[in-house]
Structures are given as C-alpha cells and as structure tokens.
A and B are shown apart, each in its own frame.
Chain A
Amino acid sequence: MKLHIERAAVDTLMIRLFDRIEEGNMPWLLAASQQLRRQFGDQLIDLVPSYTTLMLHYDLRQLDEITARQLITTALAGLQPLPPEHAGREHEIAVWYDISVGPDLERLSGLTGLSVSQVIALHSDHEYQVFALGFAPGFAYMGLLDERLAAPRLATPRKRVPAGSVAIAERQTAAYPLASPGGWNLVGRTPAPLFDRNRDGYSMLRPGDRVRFVPVEHAEFVRLGGDDTPVSGDA
C-alpha cells in the first residue's frame, strides 16, 4: 500500500492506495475507510471506496484543504488491514440459473467453449469480493471471476434488465438491484432484495463483503419470492 492524495474538486480529495485491482486491496480499503470516518466525524460528507481508491468529500465550511490532507495523513498513519473476520460480511445469494432469466448462458457457452452447466458450476463455485458499489443503488461490482468465464459486454446493451438479474462482464459479476438498462451477460436471477430503502443500511452488499452464489431450482426461487418472468427478447 502507498498513500497518494490528489485534489478532485473544491471540497473533494482522491486517496490512492493501490495501482491494480486485487482482492487483497479490500481489507486495506475497509480499514482506511473506518479510520477516515473516525478522524473526520461530522466534517465528512461522503466517502466513496472503489477498487484502489477512496474519494473523500468533506465539508468545506469546516475544513480547508490543507487541514483535510493532514487529517487523512494522520488517520492513515500506521494503517493495518482489517483481519478477515472483520473485513466485510459473508452472504449466500440464491440464484436460479436458467435460459429464460439468464438468456446469455448460451452465448457464454459459445464464447468460452464450456457447457452451460460448466458455466453455472464455475460461476457458483467461488467466493467473490465486493470491490465497489456504483452504477445504481446497491449494484455491487464483484470479482474476480474465473478467467475461463471472462466475456465482453454485449455490443448493444439491453434497454431493460429485470431486477435481480445476475450477470457477468469481463472478470466481474454483479446482480441488478433495480430494473435498468444494462450490457452485462445475464446468467440467472436472484430473489434476494439487494436494495431496500426501508431496511437498516439500505444495501445488502457493501464494499469488502464476500459473496457466494448458490444455485436453486425454479420452485425454490419462486418460494423465496423470485419473479420468473422471462427476459423479453425485444428488450
């Protein structure tokens, strides 16, 4: 880990800790995030972790930039990564893998030379890290996907990807909390409520959390509250 602080806006600093995307970054980013929240207290407006950085938006009425930089340096002095048991939570997310809700399973099979059942097995047989949330509320970028499954985004994004869709792009995977446009390869659907504005904490997944996808049959998917409406072909 290194520490490099850049100006991003009149009241925002970018804290760069790493140069590359690695699963091992997350315990450091989480530890840094905790220390910064403690150090800034109510002078912090927003702290946005991503793969290698933390973007810190502070209250410019309470702090000038020099003081904000000093607070960051103080907060991160002697930083140690969070131990695994404190580095995020573990989740098991039920997924119904099926062509009707995962219409790109066959495309992935064609691109990778694997059978559809091998694609499903490789996707579900791995613990993923949440690197960042973005794109939409509760949308978690997770990785790293097995290299054999890596596939480019669709040339033309779908106008509407249904809520709960589980998807793959390059070496990352994600689940869409809300229906939205999207260009990732759809492999299945989860009934899990990924973002709920009435739940404490709102988002099921947070940066640093670890996720396993658990294949379930159609009946179980529906029992858990899943919507089995097929992805429409013209969407």
Chain B
Amino acid sequence: MNRLTVERSLGLAQLQDGGRFGVRHLGVTQGGALDWIAMGWANWMLGNVPTACALEIPMGGVTLRCESDTTLALAGADLSVTLDEQAIAPWRSFPVQRGQRLEFNSPFSGVRAYLAAPGGFRAPRVLGSASTVTRESLGGLDGSGQALRRDDCLEFESLASSPRTMPEQHIPAYGHAVRLELIPGAQIAGFTGESLFRAFNHPWRIDPRSDRMGVRLSGKPLRYTGAPLISEGIPLGAVQVPPDGQPIVLMNDRQTIGGYPRLGALTPASVARLAQCATDDNVWLTAVGQGKVREEMIELLDMWDSGMPS
C-alpha cells in the first residue's frame, strides 16, 4: 500500500469523490468535488474512474510527505505546488519518491487543486460515497466528516499502467472575467424585465461569503414579483435570489430543499468553472439550451470512459 502523510493542513482540504446519491430525500446533501471536471481529468491521467476519491485542496496551505515511490496526478488550480522545492505545474502526472515533500502554497490561478492517486485514496463509503461533508458528519478519511488533519495518512494502490498525458486542448485558462452558462428555470418569468436585462447584461462579482454550499454574487439587486414559493428540491447550480436581490449559486453541499425563487440552474460545467473563481472575479450569466449542454456532457463522460482524448 502506498502512503502520503499530512504534515500540514489548514483544515480546508478534503477527500471528495463524485458525490452522494440516492439519499437526498432524507435531507442528505449531494457533496462531491466542486470542480468535477478537474478531478475527472486528474483521475483520468492515472487510469482511474473519473469519480475516484481525490483530494480537493482550496487555496493551499497543505504539505504532504510521500512514504513510497509512486505516481500522482494534479489538475485544477495552480497553487504554486512544489515537490522538494521543484515547481510542479497542474494538469500533469508526476513521479514522487519516498521522503519527498509535496507543498501546496498559494493560488497563482484558480482556487481548487485536485490531487489524484492510483486507484483513488482509500476511504470508507458512507451512504455510498467518501465525500466529506463536515456539517453532516459524513465521509472523509474515517467516515465522520473531518477535513484533512495533520498526521492523517492517505493510502492508495500502485499504478496499474503507465500514466496518460493530459490533452492540451482540454486544459482551461482561469481568467478573472468568466462566462457562466445558465439553463433558465420556470420561475424566471417572475422576475421583472429590468431585472432579467441586468441579470444577463451586467457582470456579477464573486462575494467573499462563498463556500461549498453556495457562491454569492453581488451586483445591482434583482427583483422577483412572482408568487412566493413553497420549499422544494434544489438542483445543483441553482441560481436562487433571496429578498435582498443578490443571487446565490447553490453548489454541491447545498441544503436539499429551499424556498427562494430561481433564475434557473448553471450547467454542471459552469458549476465546475465557478469553483475556480476567486473573490472579486467577475462573472457573466448567459442563457443556454438544455439539449446542447446534455450533448457536451455526454461527450466528455464518453471520452473519459473510452480513455481516449478527442
């Protein structure tokens, strides 16, 4: 068994996989990697399934000591990672040797880095998933919802075949002005015309009060004049508008039901992109059709399954 030992962690890095499904009717949140695309590619480079358990590291502040000679893969944000002082850029796999230190320092571009290991990090599946949700005491290394802590020991298998090279054309550039795709929902008709014009024609700024439950957008307030809502299920990426008119994009750790009106839902790819936005970045919302988004998702998932980049 291969191992990484945690020498330093600021308490934000967590084990995540594809999320917890089939239990949302019990009030259990979805969880899972926020940037599921970056995690999918990190796993793909090592021949893992795209949802294999990986480490989600926001902002940095993590040092891992390698206890074996093995291969790891890194995707997502560039957190100025070093392996014994040598820089390691994301979107690649790299060999590590026993005794080396892998340090995640501070964000250079993007916010969340994903570190994958051969076969995925070992963690108990709680309600079908290893995803860490601290608020619900579910998932993570011992199943109780703890984020990564100093002296934790992450175990994983040996690499079964040679690592794959990340196809250049799929490496995203994380700029500070981002277009997010939104599939309009039924309640969009309850917003005033002026609000809808603003929603899609003005930038929204990422508010610092954002986390794995929701990302707050700040800008000129939107006004909803439709009928009040009775609490109902909330899909991933839902853009809800509370009475203060400032939208909140509901992410993987959102509550399962809620009663604020919604403009619609971001596409899963835009949820992943939003997860890499930093405070004060600007985002623009663009309406898209459901059919096209579905085709693009299937294309990506099929590509991962076949092992071949296109």
Residues of A whose CB lies within 8 Å of any CB of B are 6-12, 14, 20-21, 33, 45-55, 57, 60-61, 64-65, 132-141, 178, 180, 195, 197, 202-203, 206-207
Contact = CB atoms under 8 A, between A and B. Distances in A.
Interface string B6-42: 0000000000000001111111100000000000000
A202 B127 contact: yes
B201 interface: no
20 contacts: A8-B233, A9-B183, A9-B236, A10-B294, A46-B21, A47-B25, A48-B256, A50-B230, A50-B231, A55-B232, A132-B257, A134-B255, A134-B256, A134-B257, A137-B23, A137-B26, A138-B26, A202-B28, A203-B27, A207-B25
B22 A46 contact: yes
B109 interface: no
A141 B27 CA distance: 10
A137 B294 contact: no
Contacts of B127: 197, 202
B290 A8 contact: no
Nearest to A12: B235
Given A51-B230, A60-B298, A134-B256, A46 B25 contact: yes
Interface residues of B, number: 42
Contact of A134 (B21, B136, B231): B231
A136 B293 contact: no
Contacts of B297: 10, 60
B108 to A, nearest CB: 31
Given A14-B186, A21-B230, A55 B235 contact: yes
B24 A136 contact: no
A7 B135 contact: no
B25 A48 contact: yes
A135 B27 contact: yes
Contacts of B21: 45-46
Interface in B191-242: 230-238
Contacts of A12: 233, 235-236, 265
Given A46-B21, A52-B232, A10 B183 contact: yes
A50 B26 contact: no
A11 B23 CA distance: 17
A46 B27 CA distance: 11
B268 interface: yes
B185 interface: yes
A195 B127 CA distance: 12
B22 A206 contact: no
Given A46-B24, A60-B297, A137-B26, A9 B265 contact: yes
B191 to A, nearest CB: 15
Contact of A45 (B22, B185, B301): B22
Given A7-B183, A10-B268, A52-B230, 20 more contacts: A6-B185, A8-B233, A9-B238, A10-B297, A14-B186, A14-B232, A21-B230, A33-B25, A45-B21, A50-B230, A55-B232, A61-B298, A133-B256, A134-B27, A134-B255, A134-B258, A135-B257, A136-B136, A202-B26, A207-B25
